[in-house]
């Protein structure tokens, strides 16, 4: 089914909508689907505005989950086991989880197809320039046109007049505050989807962290997702203050592949940077009743600062917002439990001030804990007892130093 509906236009007439979603990326589309599935779009209208007319396969998303994402046609591959980052000869079952790989092109297509039957959605291909909050509505402005909306969901950074920014976001937008308050790191990565001349991969098992590369005063590892015996995504990832450049990554990737004697062709390249910061964290549980501009996605605090994963949280937040809207309850934020924010602070400080120790921390985590516990911990679903068991087995002096630095800052 094509989504080139009559409603995809480039210059909208003056109009008004109940909801506007700015940005048809991961969080925008998850939210649109949730509004639709909650039945809100039977009577209310939604405008989805996206600036990129040729949105294509601009990234891939991976995450672990117990249930398969629906519809599972959007999943290009899944794995039930991973090699242990501590000992790459040991293979660990992910049960009850699977690790999923989704190409963004398949995600965009799948969600748009599900929404294509909804007459109350209008799609605009336009660049929003500014948002102005007025007393009972919001004016969404592009260079040439504007429209009103009762509420706006924003997944991109734009000037917003008439509404205070949520806690962390205002700090983040100011470079000065960013340095002063909390360590800020980048998760940067360069990946190649490779075709090899002979079958060498075991496509039933993924590698999330292989530390068998120079650390270069950062925490760096190789991520390997085999799609078949002769095709895999090999990606180098850096947690560091400086972003990994393509040239640096290319040298490291070639060295790594040469060491393994892999003869390859590059089919596709992926390059990206994700902010690793606790500064998007929201402290209040619910938005104020009069909030009309709501941040979603990365800006709303969906990305876990110490892992860069956020896709699943965006889906869950979309569902939570839609449910609250339907039930006319206070709108939730993506607030995380304080103790998990605190753990992230400690680890970010270690990665910031002792980047060469990151490798030891992650290896020790996977060496001493069952994988399912590690994944639940990263999902912030462990109990305090389990967290004590985890921290007791980590390099304790490193965490105590980080704690001191946290207290004094």
Ligand X SMILES: Cc1cc2nc3c(=O)[nH]c(=O)nc-3n(C[C@H](O)[C@H](O)[C@H](O)COP(=O)(O)OP(=O)(O)OC[C@H]3O[C@@H](n4cnc5c(N)ncnc54)[C@H](O)[C@@H]3O)c2cc1C
Nearer to ligand X, 190 or 360 (CB): 190
Residue 295 in contact with ligand X, rule: CB under 6 A: no
Expressed in angstroms, the distance from the first to the final Cα of the chain is 55
196 scored as a contact of ligand X (CB under 6 A)? no
Min dist. Cβ of residue 267 to ligand X (A): 17
> Among all residues, whose Cβ is closest to ligand X?
25
Convert 150-181 to b/e letters by CB count within 10 Å (16 or more is b).
ebbbbbbebebeebeebbbbebbeeeeebeeb
Q: Residue 25 or 399: which CB sits closer to ligand X?
A: 25
Nearer to ligand X by Cβ, of 154 and 360: the residue is: 154
Q: Does residue 276 interact with ligand X by CB under 6 A?
A: no
Q: Which helix (H) or strand (E) holds 348?
A: helix 338-353
Q: Work out how close the CB of 156 gets to ligand X at its nearest, in angstroms, rounded to a whole number.
A: 4
Q: Does 33 sit near ligand X (CB under 6 A)? A: no
Residue 128 or 394 having the CB closest to ligand X: 128
Minimum Å gap between C-beta 40 and ligand X is 19
Taking the CA atoms of 359, 365, 367 and 368 in sequence, report the sign of the dihedral they define.
Answer: positive
User: Helix axis angle, 396-408 relative to 384-392, nearest 10°?
Assistant: 110
Q: Which of 35, 47, 49, 185 binds ligand X (CB under 6 A)?
A: 49
Q: Please state, in angstroms and rounded to a whole number, the distance separating the CA atoms of residues 48 and 319.
A: 17
Q: Which of residues 363-402 bind ligand X (CB under 6 A)?
A: none
3-class secondary-structure state, position 7: coil
Strand duo 219-228 + 146-154: pairing: unpaired
Q: Given the rule CB under 6 A, which of 17-25, 194-202, 204-212, 258-266 is the region that contacts ligand X?
A: 17-25
- Is residue 201 at the binding interface for ligand X, with CB under 6 A as the rule? no
Q: What's the rounded Cα separation, in Å, for the pair 235 and 225?
A: 9
Region label for 65, one of left (φ > 0), alpha (ψ between -120 and 50) or beta (otherwise): beta
If one asks whether residue 155 binds ligand X (CB under 6 A), the answer comes out as: yes
Please give the Cα distance from 130 to 146 (Å, whole number): 10
311 binds ligand X (CB under 6 A): yes
Find the part of the chain contacting ligand X (CB under 6 A) among 55-63, 76-84, 326-334, 377-385: 55-63
Order the strands of the 205-210 sheet from edge to edge.
91-93, 81-83, 205-210, 219-228, 231-240, 185-196, 264-276
Which phi and psi (to 5°) does residue 234 adopt?
A: -115, 120
332 near ligand X (CB under 6 A): no
Q: What string marks each residue from 156 to 185 as x (binds ligand X by CB under 6 A) or -? A: x-x---------------------------
From 2-10, 21-29, 199-207, 242-250, span contacting ligand X (CB under 6 A): 21-29
# chain residues binding ligand X, by CB under 6 A: 31
Q: Is 298 in the site for ligand X (CB under 6 A)?
A: yes
* 109 touching ligand X, by CB under 6 A: no
Query: What is the Cα–Cα distance from 53 to 153, expressed in whole angstroms?
Result: 20
Cβ contact 108:29 at 8 Å: yes
| Binds ligand X by CB under 6 A, chosen from 272, 275, 332, 395 | 272
- The DSSP code sequence of 152-202 is EEE-S---EESSPPPHHHHHHHSHHHHHHHS--EEEEEEEEEEEESS----
Taking the complex as a whole, how short is the minimal distance between the CB of residue 159 and ligand X, in angstroms?
10
**Residues 21, 24, 294, 351: which binds ligand X (CB under 6 A)?**
24
- Does 100 bind ligand X (CB under 6 A)? Our answer is no
Whichever of 297 and 358 has its CB closer to ligand X, that residue is 297
Residues near ligand X, by CB under 6 A: 22-28, 49-52, 55, 59, 61-63, 127-128, 155-156, 158, 270, 272, 274, 297-298, 303, 308-311
């Amino acid at each position: 089914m094509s989504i080139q509906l009559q409603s995809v236009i480039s210059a909208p007439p003056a109009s008004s909508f109940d909801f506007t979603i700015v940005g048809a990326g991961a969080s925008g589309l998850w939210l649109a689907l949730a509004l639709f599935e909650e039945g809100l779009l039977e009577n209310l209208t939604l405008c989805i505005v996206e600036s990129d007319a040729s949105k294509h396969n601009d990234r891939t998303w991976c995450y672990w989950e117990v249930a398969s994402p629906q519809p599972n046609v959007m999943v290009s591959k899944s794995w039930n086991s991973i090699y242990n980052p501590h000992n790459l000869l040991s293979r660990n079952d992910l049960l009850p989880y699977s690790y999923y790989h989704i190409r963004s092109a398949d995600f965009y297509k799948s969600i748009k197809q599900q929404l294509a039957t909804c007459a109350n959605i209008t799609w605009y291909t336009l660049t929003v320039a500014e948002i102005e909050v007025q007393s009972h509505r919001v004016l969404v402005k592009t260079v040439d046109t504007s429209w009103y909306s009762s509420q706006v969901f924003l997944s991109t950074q734009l000037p917003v007049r008439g509404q205070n920014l949520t806690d962390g976001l205002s700090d983040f937008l100011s470079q000065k505050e960013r340095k002063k308050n909390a360590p800020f790191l980048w998760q940067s990565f360069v990946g190649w989807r490779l075709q090899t001349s002979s079958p060498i991969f075991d496509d039933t098992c993924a590698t999330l962290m292989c530390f068998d590369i120079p650390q270069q005063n950062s925490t760096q590892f190789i991520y390997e997702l085999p799609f078949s015996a002769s095709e895999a995504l090999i990606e180098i990832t850096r947690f560091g203050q400086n972003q990994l450049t393509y040239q640096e990554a290319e040298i490291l990737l070639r060295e790594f592949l040469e060491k393994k004697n892999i003869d390859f062709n590059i089919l596709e390249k992926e390059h990206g940077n994700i902010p690793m910061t606790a500064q998007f964290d929201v402290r209040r549980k619910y938005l104020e009743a009069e909030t009309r501009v709501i941040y979603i996605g990365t800006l709303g605090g969906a990305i876990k600062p110490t892992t860069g994963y956020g896709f699943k949280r965006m889906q869950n937040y979309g569902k939570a917002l839609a449910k609250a809207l339907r039930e006319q309850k206070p709108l939730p934020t993506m607030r995380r439990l304080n103790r998990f924010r605190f753990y992230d602070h400690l680890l970010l400080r270690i990665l910031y001030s002792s980047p060469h120790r990151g490798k030891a921390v992650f290896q020790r985590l996977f060496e001493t804990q069952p994988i399912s516990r590690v994944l639940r911990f990263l999902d912030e679903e462990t109990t305090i007892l389990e967290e004590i068991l985890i921290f007791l087995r980590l390099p304790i002096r490193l965490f105590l130093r980080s704690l001191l630095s946290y207290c004094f800052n």
